[in-house]
Amino acid sequence: MPDTPGSPQWAPPAASPPPPSPQREYQPHKTATSRQASSPASRAVTGHLTGPPGIKSVLDHGCGRGADVAHYRLAGLAAEGFGPHDGFGWPRPGRTGFVLVTSMFVVNVLADVWQRIKALKDVASFARPGGHLVIVPRSPEEITKAAADGD
């Protein structure tokens, strides 16, 4: 008796497993925007933290392509940048002791909490004793929009 639908030995063909979904390599450096203008956060820093508070040196930790570093320099600050991705051309500074260290839109792109803690400790290691840190994540609204857009 042939194996046909309705015969006792017939079974549908086994479904082949779905193809594996391609794993996207996590590349947080790709979140660096190519903006030409400084970020609103860096403008707030120069508008509120320089001048009377006496902040004269700043390190932008995770500076991406450096738009905020340029902004700080135009504001008269001794500014350096650091981007851990070699392609941006901002190597790790050879010094510490910055009066202010900023980290704009970095912690929210790190894959897990331990990477965030490590990054924040690194940010703090560049500040002088009594120095200041400014950590700015993307807003929840921006993150939600980027996720909906697939970014």
- Residue 22, in any domain of the structure: no
Read off the pLDDT band of 69 (50, 70, 90): very high
Report the distance separating Cα 72 and Cα 69, nearest Å. 5
CATH number of the domain within which 82 lies: 3.40.50.150
Q: What is the DSSP letter of 76?
A: T
Structural domains counted in the chain:
1
* pLDDT tens per residue, range 85-132: 888 899 999 999 999 999 988 888 887 889 989 999 999 999 999 999
Domain residue limits at 97: 56-148
Q: Check pLDDT > 50 for residue 26.
A: no
- Residue 89, in any domain of the structure: yes
- Residue 49, in any domain of the structure: no
Nearest to 98 by CA among 125, 73, 74: 125
